[in-house]
């Protein structure tokens, strides 16, 4: 019996270490698609909010918080609404913004760059904020989209539990599809609260990820994009 208990405890310790390593090292096995169950959207939003509210109330009670206090009594409901309607609204593909494109009447065939697109996301390992800026460029192939649509694409993929590498690819692939061109470039430059507020507690580092397609695979175009973006220097201020 004692041998079995020892083996069970050892396996449990290994599993716990693996959980921590995956979180601290930002490891994911699914780099292209957000991990979702097939029935993810069978439940309506109101039901989801009711369930989240109930479970979050239980979490707060377990932590010893007094939910009869005026400041805390409405928190479970507020958190539930925030999760479903705001922070994680990008999980539902129905919320993908309509990306109407237009013909390139100006025959503009140079690089278009939209930089410093602010975004707020959440790390899927710890559910704490990722805050950063996206820089996007594309070279039109007969179709263009409004500048605000570039912002909306970034924010759609940010509003879900995320891994920055995956988010970078999702934005790039979405823009390639909409614009009908492979010549798309994306840079995300972000601060991760799971790094700065816990674990290693590093408040000075940032994470930069890139996506290049089409003409941006050529060194000259890629270097021009990076130069135009002018990556930030020092600590990001929001």
Catalytic residue among 124, 156, 162, 170: 124
Q: Is residue 120 flagged as an active site residue?
A: no
Catalytic residue among 53, 135, 162, 194: 194
What pairs with residue 120 in β-bridges? 131
Whose structure tokens read 């605000």?
Answer: 148
137 vs 160: CA distance, rounded Å: 23
Q: Is residue 126 flagged as an active site residue?
A: yes
Q: Is residue 143 flagged as an active site residue?
A: no
Q: Is residue 11 flagged as an active site residue?
A: no
Q: Is residue 156 flagged as an active site residue?
A: no
Q: Is residue 194 flagged as an active site residue?
A: yes
Catalytic residue among 53, 125, 162, 170: 125
| Angle, CA 84 vertex, CA 80 and CA 85 arms, to 5° | 110
Catalytic residue among 53, 156, 162, 192: 192
Q: Is residue 26 flagged as an active site residue?
A: no
Catalytic residue among 53, 156, 164, 170: 164
Report DSSP letters for 156-187, one per residue: HHHSSEE-HHHHHHHHHHHHHHHHT-S-EEEE
76-88 burial, b at 16+ Cβ within 10 Å, e below that, comes to beebbeebbeebb
Catalytic residue among 123, 135, 156, 170: 123
Catalytic residue among 53, 126, 135, 162: 126
Helix (H) / strand (E) containing 129: strand 129-139
Residues involved in catalysis: 123-126, 164, 192, 194
């Amino acid at each position: 019996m004692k041998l079995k208990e020892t083996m069970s405890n050892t396996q449990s310790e290994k599993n716990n270490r693996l959980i921590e390593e995956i979180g601290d090292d930002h490891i994911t096995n699914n780099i292209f698609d957000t991990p979702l169950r097939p029935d993810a959207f069978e439940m309506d939003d109101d039901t989801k909010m009711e369930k989240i509210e109930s479970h979050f109330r239980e979490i707060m009670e377990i932590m010893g918080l007094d939910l009869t206090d005026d400041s805390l009594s409405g928190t479970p409901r507020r958190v539930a609404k925030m999760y479903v309607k705001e922070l994680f609204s990008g999980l539902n593909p129905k919320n993908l913004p309509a990306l109407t494109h237009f013909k390139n009447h100006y025959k503009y065939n140079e690089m278009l760059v939209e930089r410093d697109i602010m975004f707020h996301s959440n790390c899927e390992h710890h559910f704490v904020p990722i805050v950063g800026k996206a820089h996007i460029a594309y070279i039109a192939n007969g179709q263009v989209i409004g500048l605000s649509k570039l912002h909306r694409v970034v924010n759609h993929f940010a509003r879900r539990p995320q891994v920055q590498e995956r988010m970078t690819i999702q934005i790039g692939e979405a823009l390639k599809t909409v614009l009908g061109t492979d010549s798309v470039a994306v840079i995300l430059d972000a601060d991760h609260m799971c790094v700065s507020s816990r674990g290693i507690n590093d408040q000075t580092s940032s994470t930069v990820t890139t996506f290049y397609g089409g003409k941006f695979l050529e060194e000259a175009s890629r270097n021009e994009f990076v130069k135009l973006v002018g990556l930030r220097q020092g600590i990001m201020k929001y």
